Amino acid sequence: MTSHTHTPSSEGQLRPRLSKITMVAMTFAILNTWICLAGSLSLVLPSGGSVAFLYGFIFCVLCNFCLAASLGELAAIWPTAGGQYHFQWALTSEKWRKVMSFAVGYINIFGWLTLVTTEGFFAEAQFISAACVVASNGTYTVAAWKTYLIFMVVLTFGTLSMTFGNRILGAWNNLALYWSILSVFVASVVLLSTSDKTDPEFVFATFQNETGWNDGIAWILGLLQSALSLIGYDAVLHMTEEMPTPSRDAPLAMVYAVGVGGTTFS
């Protein structure tokens, strides 16, 4: 393993510019927990309703705490930008390490591609379309091609920002964290003070299954929304070479990001 580990003395080294709070901010911006939950309500409403929404989210938070802690332990030992495929190489026998590392690496890439497109559609394109409807007093007509164009603009903007805005990326991520938490507070106050109240038994004890499957399958389907809102914190692993003390800060950043996501929903 030592022969495959890059050290500052033998390889070029990136400038450490990302603090722990910046990594938490970046990871939380990727998770987009409460926005993602709001944008994917259609997944859970027929698959358990509010019961699956509340208890399913708590279950997913606990599971992701365990996953973040597990990845954090590995990141503390091998803080490299390779992340999962590097861990796979280190932990697999000589016979299988090349095949397994190759598979894990590309699964990770495909997962990130899926995550980017999903968040670009749910958390940005749909919300911008809804905002256009509200801002135009209902005169704006939502169409598939318009939503797709918004989606492409969002992805293009993100790509250009990551390519040419690297110097302000840390401050940008911090701003995203503070803005998101402030938005949660404002939205919570407005909704709690203006919306009609629902019977507590319906919210906490009524399981609504409109899927056509049995309740067990419906519960699993209802978890999709919560699971979607808590994935992506492994981004910290791929930025460790730009952190001053990655062995300590990377594990904490992943766990804190899940904690912030779970707290802002609550």
pLDDT tens across the length of the chain (266 residues)? 444 444 444 455 666 677 778 888 888 887 777 777 777 777 888 998 889 889 999 999 999 999 999 999 999 999 988 889 999 999 999 999 999 999 999 999 998 888 888 877 776 777 788 888 888 888 888 888 888 888 898 889 888 988 887 788 878 888 888 888 888 888 888 888 888 888 888 888 889 899 889 999 999 998 988 888 888 888 889 888 888 888 988 999 999 989 888 887 65
How many of the other CB atoms lie within 10 Å of CB of 73? 11
**Which domain covers residue 172, as residue numbers?**
16-265
Q: Is residue 4 part of a domain?
A: no
CA gap 74, 198 in Å, rounded = 45
Q: Is residue 75 part of a domain?
A: yes
Q: Is residue 10 part of a domain?
A: no
- Token reading at 151: 């989606």
Q: Is residue 82 part of a domain?
A: yes
Kindly compute the dihedral angle of the four CA atoms of residues 151, 49, 51, 202, in this order, to the nearest 10 degrees: 130
Q: Is residue 130 part of a domain?
A: yes
- Token reading at 261: 């996501």
Kindly compute the dihedral angle of the four CA atoms of residues 177, 182, 185, 191, in this order, to the nearest 10 degrees: -110
pLDDT at 14: 63
Q: Which of 148, 147, 145, 115 is nearest to 132 (CA)?
A: 147
| Residues 223 and 60 sit within 8 Å (Cβ to Cβ) | yes
pLDDT at 124: 72
pLDDT at 6: 45
Looking at the structure of the chain, the number of domains it has is 1
Phi, psi of 7 (to 5 degrees): -120, 155
Query: Which residues touch 2 (CB under 8 Å, ≥6 apart)?
Result: none
Q: Is residue 56 part of a domain?
A: yes
pLDDT at 81: 87
0.75 exceeded by the pTM?
Answer: yes
Q: Is residue 159 part of a domain?
A: yes
